[in-house]
Amino acid sequence: MPLEDKLKALRREREARSRPHNVETTWEKLGEDSGLTIKQKLERLIALTDKGRGMAVRTEERPVEKKRREPVQVFENSYLLGASYGQIPISMGLQIPAEILGFLSRDAAFEGLDLSSAVFLDLETTGLAGGTGTVPFLVGLAYYRDERFKVTQFFLNEMAEEDRLVRELAQFVQDMGFKSIVTYNGKAFDLPLVETRFALHRMTCPLRGLPHLDFLFSARSLWKHKYDSCRLFHLAQQIVQAERSEDIPGAEIPLRYFQYIRSGDFSLIEPILYHNQEDLLSLLGVVVAGSVLVERNRGAAERGEGDPMDLYGVAKLFERAGDATTSAALLEKALAGGPGLSAEVSQAARKKLSHHFKKNKNWDKALPFWQEMAAGEEVDCDCFRELSMYFEHTARDYDEAIRVATEGLAVSKGKSPMAERDFEKRITRLRDKKAKVKGPAGR
C-alpha cells in the first residue's frame, strides 16, 4: 500500500476513535488560519486542549526562527517554578533529595545530586525497533535553569544532515554540564539509540556514563498493580491528573515525519513537538509523584497510616532495593489496611510475607499466611507445598504433612502438571519416611 494511502487509513482510524477537542482536531482548526506562527499555534493549542487541567503557565515560548528547511531547528520553551503541571508544582522537582533519586535508580552515583543538574530525555524516532536504521529526528531535553524548567527540542529537517544535529546536541550538552539523566524506558531505548548515533558519526556521547534514573522500573513497582497501564500518558492522567489528551499514536509518528520529508508540510510535525513536550512534562510529574509516595510511605508502618495499594507498591520498591525488612513491615501494614487491597494484591502480599518469615525462620508468622492462602478462594498450590515442608521438616508431623500434600495434589489436578508430579513424589516419600519412623512394630 502506498505511504499516502497508509496515512489516510491511519487518519480515518484515529478520527473514528478520537474524543472531541483532541489535539489532532485542534491542529486542523488552527491550520485554517495560515497567518499564525508556530509560537502562536502552540499557545492556542495549549489554551484549547488544557481547559481546567492546571497546565503549567508558560513565561517564554519562542521557537528559534529559522528557515523552514534549515537542516536543524531548535525550539525552546520555559515554565515558571511557581507553575504546575496537573497537580504537581514544577518547583517540587528541586525538592527531591539525592537519597530518593539514588533509591529509585538503585545507583549510588546519585549521591550528592538532585534534579537541578539533571536532564530529562525523550526521543521521537523513525521507528520503534531501535538499531542502526532508526534515526531520532526529534531530541527533547528538559532541565532546570535560571529559575525555570526549560524544554529544548532539536529537530532534524534533513535526514542527510544528522551529523549536524549530533554535533549541535553534543555542544549543547557539554555547555549545560548535566550530571545525571532521567528517562522513561531510556535504558532500553532512548540512551542506547543516542549512543549509537554518536558512534556512527565517530563522536563520543556526552551522556554516556552519567547516573541514569529510568523511572519506568520504579513506576511498574509503584503502580502496575493499581492501574491498567503504566504508559507515561496514562500515568500522567491517573497520577499527575494532567488529563492530557491522547494526541498521536506512536506508530503514526514515523509516518508523519517521512511524509513531512517528502512534502515539507510542517503542520505534520507541530503536533509531534507538542507530544514530545507533554511527555517530558509528564515524566517530571510522575517522578515527583513517585518520590513523594516513597518519602511519605516508607515510614508508614511506624506511623500507622498509608493507602494499602500505595504501601504495597512502595514495599515492592524496597524489596527490589534489597531492604526486605522495610518491605515486610510495609506489606504487613498494607494487609492491615482492610478492604483497600484487591484480592490479587492481597494474595501476592501474603505470599511475599510468608517467604520473608520463612527465610528468617519465623514460623509463628509464616504458618498463618500459608493456612490463610490454603483456605482462600484463589488457591495457590505453593502454599500447600510450603505447609507440607513445614510439617515434615520443622513440626515433624508426617500425618499432617501427608494430609496437606494430598490436598495440594487435588488442587493441582488439571492445573499444574509439574505441581502434580511434585506432590505425588512428596506423598510417596512422606509415607516411606513415616513407615521407617514407626518401624516393624508400627506396621
Separation of alpha carbons 61 and 74, rounded Å: 12
Q: Return the pLDDT at 251.
A: 82
Choose between 28 and 438: higher pLDDT.
438
The model's confidence at residue 301, banded by pLDDT at 50, 70 and 90, is: low
- pLDDT tens for 58-75 read 444 444 444 457 899 999
Distances (CA, A) of 284 to 84, 85, 292: 11, 9, 12
Q: Is the pLDDT of residue 307 over 80?
A: yes
Contacts of residue 375, Cβ cutoff 8 Å, sequence gap at least 6:
none
Q: Return the pLDDT at 379.
A: 75
Closest CA to 108 of 212, 183, 207, 179: 212
- pLDDT tens for 247-265 read 788 789 999 999 999 999 9
DSSP string, 412-434: HTTT-HHHHHHHHHHHHHHHHHH
Average pLDDT of the residues in 163-189 = 97
Q: Is the pLDDT of residue 28 over 80?
A: no
For the stretch 197-215, what's the b/e string if a residue is b when 16 or more beta carbons lie within 10 angstroms of its beta carbon?
bbeeeeeebbbeebbbbbb
Strands 148-156 and 72-80: antiparallel
Q: Is the pLDDT of residue 418 over 80?
A: yes
Q: In what order do the strands lie in the sheet with 212-214?
A: 58-61, 72-80, 148-156, 136-145, 118-125, 180-183, 212-214
Separation of alpha carbons 199 and 106, rounded Å: 27
Average pLDDT of the residues in 317-328 = 93
Q: Return the pLDDT at 33.
A: 57
Q: Is the pLDDT of residue 359 over 90?
A: yes
Average pLDDT of the residues in 120-149 = 92
Distances (CA, A) of 17 to 13, 45, 355, 399: 7, 20, 46, 62
- pLDDT tens for 79-102 read 999 999 999 999 999 999 999 999
Average pLDDT of the residues in 310-314 = 94
Average pLDDT of the residues in 341-367 = 93
Contacts of residue 175, Cβ cutoff 8 Å, sequence gap at least 6:
none
Average pLDDT of the residues in 415-436 = 92
Amino acid occupying residue 28 = E
Q: Return the pLDDT at 309.
A: 93
The model's confidence at residue 56, banded by pLDDT at 50, 70 and 90, is: very low
Separation of alpha carbons 405 and 390, rounded Å: 11
Q: Return the pLDDT at 186.
A: 96
Cell of 290: 513517585
Separation of alpha carbons 37 and 392, rounded Å: 78
Q: Could you tell me if 216 and 113 are in contact, meaning their C-beta atoms sit under 8 angstroms apart?
A: no
Average pLDDT of the residues in 221-244 = 92
Q: Return the pLDDT at 41.
A: 55
Q: Is the pLDDT of residue 280 over 90?
A: yes
Percent of the chain with pLDDT over 70: 82
> pTM for the whole thing?
0.81
Averaged pLDDT score across all residues of the chain: 85
Number of Cβ atoms within 10 Å of the Cβ of 76:
13
Number of Cβ atoms within 10 Å of the Cβ of 322:
8
Separation of alpha carbons 401 and 406, rounded Å: 9
Q: Is the pLDDT of residue 34 over 80?
A: no
Q: Strand runs (DSSP E) across 96-246, as ranges?
A: 118-125, 136-145, 148-156, 180-183, 212-214
Q: Is the pLDDT of residue 378 over 90?
A: no
Closest CA to 154 of 257, 76, 65, 230: 76
Q: Is the pLDDT of residue 441 over 60?
A: no
The model's confidence at residue 10, banded by pLDDT at 50, 70 and 90, is: very low
Choose between 378 and 371: higher pLDDT.
371
